[in-house]
A and B are shown apart, each in its own frame.
Chain A
Amino acid sequence: MTAAREHVMADLRDRIASVTGGAARKAGCLPFRVAEIDAVLPGGGLAYGALHEFAGGGAGTVDGAAAALCVAGVAARTKGKVVWCMTRPDLFFPAIAQAGLNANRVIFVESDKEDEVLANMEEALAYGGLGAVVGEVVRLPMMASRRLRLAAERTGTLALIVRRWRRQTEANDFGQPTASTTRWRVSVMPSEELPVPGVGRGRWLLELMRSRAGECAEFEIGACDDKGRVHLSTGSSHGSNPARRSGHSR
């Protein structure tokens, strides 16, 4: 009896999966290679053929620096070309190259309007054969995000969105529903402690705010290294020794 029920359940699950984006499931996942983060994500990583949103926290909602570097780290771990669509060309590529993303792999598409960014992203996703498609946008309406997701599902390309707003107060827009599979917030935290005075490796608070068929979670991680990898990081000690500033301190 139980065996029969199991069989029926498994069969039903397969049929549901084949109706709702079977292609995406086949495409697999890009793991973070951090056991704790991969454990909370269904499939064990960022799903290919799906849309993932990244935003900054605090001042990062406007500059989107940490979110962009985090996305660059993810893109660096994919294979193939990366198309980066945006309206504001203020990305400083030497920093992105330090996260392991080769300049030869990245094609920038700069347009004047937000809508064109979304249209260009959709075109790139539908084209296929790319490692990842990144877009920097302010608004991501439900309709647009669904179109992106469908285009990504068709080709199994990783779609990454960096949300950056013009003002910090506009960032509550991030609560609006979209068709993205996961939604992350990356906020900067005091850097890792060094044995000498100075600024160490950056640390981020990585909040998984929404995950389709998964739980929310938050992690304290160390910023991307030169291969685009992150790692779990334990406390910094701003409080413990505030006087230490630099090698030139009195």
Chain B
Amino acid sequence: MPAAKAQALFQGLLMVDADEKADAAALERITLWALAHYSPIVAVDVPNGIVMDTEGADHLQGGEEPMLAGIANRFRGKGLLARVAIADTWGAAHACARAIKRDTVIIPRGDTARAVERLPISLLRLAAKTVDDLRTLGFRTIGELANTPRAPIALRFGQDVGRRLDQMLGRVAEPIDPVRSPDLIEVSRSFQEPIGAAETIDKYVGRLVVQLCEELQRRGLGVRRADLIVDKVDNTRQAIRAGTAKPARDVAWLTKLFRDRTEKIEPGFGIEKLTLAAIMSEPLEEMQKASSLVKDEVKDITPLIDIFGNRGARVYRLSPVASDVPERSVQRISAAAVDVEATWSRSWPRPVRLLPYPELVDVIALMPDHPPVSVTWKGKRHKVIRADGPERVFGEWWVRNSELEAVRDYFVIEDDTGERLWIYRAGDGVDTATGSHKWFVHGIFA
């Protein structure tokens, strides 16, 4: 839209000249931030994007989907609108991120051709003139262009069109040249002859870790995120990222984190260069340890937590929440968090297994205060011999409006074989506003 037309539409429109230099600098800053947070291989995707190779790094964010949502939310928190896409290739991700209406999209593996065939050719990263000329010839979508014989197009527009199509569909590799900030601690090793055997890789990873730790020691830092970048002879690059729960400078600890995953490295035709970089580091000062003569030494298990975390397992501890609603009374905290003093109330019996969702059961019970006489759960009838209750739990209106009047009456019941269940009635048995008066099984006692 021309500026004059815009000014005619909106009164008092403030005009600011585009500052391309400042934009580029800001983009570079964001790129460096993404390097520390998300992926070892990050580059600026000119003019207005960032490209990341997230393979081998998404597990630290909990998988691809949480990672994308996290990125979009972080930008929104800063008042910026970001479009995020994951695809098999740089070209496809570039096109999808600019085409989508939603915040995030994940193109499943191998689905690239289907995902991009409807997208306009302007997303193919071609020169503006080429795009215009192709439009004149009647090409609208990438699919149409991909289904046309190559030779005539190459004759008229050069090799660029075919190259971009191949890059988008993954027929040609397109390595990302990662950004590096000057304060990264990086050690690398080039090989005269390409290496490939797992033992050799292990050996050199071990040496790089020693070098990195010496460098960290000199600067008084400990690493939180470390990347191993593998350059192969066919000009492709693979990266493995390892995270630690607290700053680490221990050779054995870091070596273990990488050796655990050397099997993920595909040497292909051979590895030319190994680079180890400390992407995120924090100060780690020398500390004086109490002598083991004075008190029992408690073994630090943070390295073990890191091993689990880098394998993709969810590692956590549980801590109490001040809530009477059973499913809200437990929260997950970081496994390396400081100890929590508070604990759950010991006054009331609690079941060992809590069902993820309460299950509806048929009961015979005298309302309003009596425990059931019989409970039928999963087609099996339990004749109630003993029971305890009710333990009344009120809804938490400060969490959800609809719980303002909600009540649950919990009973412990025991049947003739000794099975003990935790059941509740939604509602207080008198007033239907407090609940549906249906019965649910919520837990199993030992």
Given the complex of chains A and B, what is the CA–CA distance between A149 and B68 in angstroms? 41
List of A residues within 8 angstroms of B388 by Cβ? 198-199, 246
Query: Contact partner of B317 among A108, A199, A203, A204, CB < 8 A?
Result: A108
Are A80 and B299 neighbours in the complex by a CB distance under 8 Å?
yes
B389 interfacial by beta-carbon distance below 8 Å: yes
Name the distance in Å between A247's Cβ and chain B's nearest Cβ.
8
List of B residues within 8 angstroms of A158 by Cβ? none
Are A90 and B356 neighbours in the complex by a CB distance under 8 Å?
yes
A216 interfacial by beta-carbon distance below 8 Å: no
Query: Contact partner of B446 among A68, A116, A242, CB < 8 A?
Result: A68
B223 interfacial by beta-carbon distance below 8 Å: no
Given the complex of chains A and B, what is the CA–CA distance between A202 and B412 in angstroms? 12
Are B389 and A68 neighbours in the complex by a CB distance under 8 Å?
no
Query: Contact partner of A92 among B305, B343, B443, CB < 8 A?
Result: B443
Given the complex of chains A and B, what is the CA–CA distance between A94 and B347 in angstroms? 11
Given the complex of chains A and B, what is the CA–CA distance between A111 and B313 in angstroms? 5
List of A residues within 8 angstroms of B303 by Cβ? 127
List of A residues within 8 angstroms of B385 by Cβ? 190, 238, 242, 245
Given the complex of chains A and B, what is the CA–CA distance between A98 and B350 in angstroms? 8
Interface residues of B in 306-360 (CB under 8 A from A): 307-308, 311-320, 326, 329-330, 335, 339-340, 343-346, 349-356
Given the complex of chains A and B, what is the CA–CA distance between A250 and B269 in angstroms? 83
Given the complex of chains A and B, what is the CA–CA distance between A205 and B122 in angstroms? 73
Query: Contact partner of A191 among B304, B356, B420, CB < 8 A?
Result: B420
Number of interface residues of B (CB under 8 A): 58
Residue from A95, A123, A188 whose CB has the most chain B CB atoms within 10 Å: A95
Given the complex of chains A and B, what is the CA–CA distance between A62 and B91 in angstroms? 49
Are A120 and B313 neighbours in the complex by a CB distance under 8 Å?
yes
Q: Chain B contact residues: over half helix, strand or loop, or mixed? A: mixed
Given the complex of chains A and B, what is the CA–CA distance between A189 and B416 in angstroms? 9
Are A127 and B304 neighbours in the complex by a CB distance under 8 Å?
yes
Closest to B318 in A: A93
Interface residues of B in 134-166 (CB under 8 A from A): none
B414 interfacial by beta-carbon distance below 8 Å: yes
List of B residues within 8 angstroms of A81 by Cβ? 301
Name the distance in Å between B327's Cβ and chain A's nearest Cβ.
9
List of B residues within 8 angstroms of A23 by Cβ? none
Are B386 and A198 neighbours in the complex by a CB distance under 8 Å?
yes
Interface 1/0s, chain A 119-140, versus B by CB < 8 A? Answer: 1100110011110000000000
A59 interfacial by beta-carbon distance below 8 Å: yes
Given A58-B419, A110-B313, A203-B418, are A92 and B371 also a contact pair (CB < 8 Å)?
Answer: no
Residue from B301, B304, B305, B387 whose CB has the most chain A CB atoms within 10 Å: B304
Are A104 and B412 neighbours in the complex by a CB distance under 8 Å?
no
Interface 1/0s, chain A 172-196, versus B by CB < 8 A? Answer: 0000000000000011111100000
B18 interfacial by beta-carbon distance below 8 Å: no
Name the distance in Å between A126's Cβ and chain B's nearest Cβ.
10
List of B residues within 8 angstroms of A80 by Cβ? 298-299
Are A202 and B446 neighbours in the complex by a CB distance under 8 Å?
yes
The range of chain A's interface size is: 35 or more
Are B350 and A83 neighbours in the complex by a CB distance under 8 Å?
no
Residue from B345, B384, B385 whose CB has the most chain A CB atoms within 10 Å: B385
A70 interfacial by beta-carbon distance below 8 Å: yes
A47 interfacial by beta-carbon distance below 8 Å: no
B381 interfacial by beta-carbon distance below 8 Å: no
A21 interfacial by beta-carbon distance below 8 Å: no
List of A residues within 8 angstroms of B394 by Cβ? none
Interface 1/0s, chain A 31-48, versus B by CB < 8 A? Answer: 000000000000000000
Name the distance in Å between A235's Cβ and chain B's nearest Cβ.
12
Closest to A68 in B: B352
Are A92 and B387 neighbours in the complex by a CB distance under 8 Å?
no
Given A104-B340, A246-B387, are A98 and B446 also a contact pair (CB < 8 Å)?
Answer: no
Are A58 and B417 neighbours in the complex by a CB distance under 8 Å?
yes
Interface residues of B in 236-251 (CB under 8 A from A): none
List of A residues within 8 angstroms of B416 by Cβ? 190, 238
Given the complex of chains A and B, what is the CA–CA distance between A98 and B316 in angstroms? 20
User: B residues within 8 Å of A by Cβ?
Assistant: 298-299, 301, 303-305, 307-308, 311-320, 326, 329-330, 335, 339-340, 343-346, 349-356, 369-371, 373, 384-389, 412-414, 416-420, 443-446
What are 22 A-B pairs at a CB distance below 8 A?
A90-B356, A92-B350, A92-B351, A92-B354, A94-B350, A95-B351, A103-B319, A104-B317, A107-B315, A107-B335, A120-B313, A124-B304, A127-B303, A186-B446, A190-B418, A191-B386, A199-B388, A199-B412, A199-B414, A202-B446, A203-B418, A245-B373
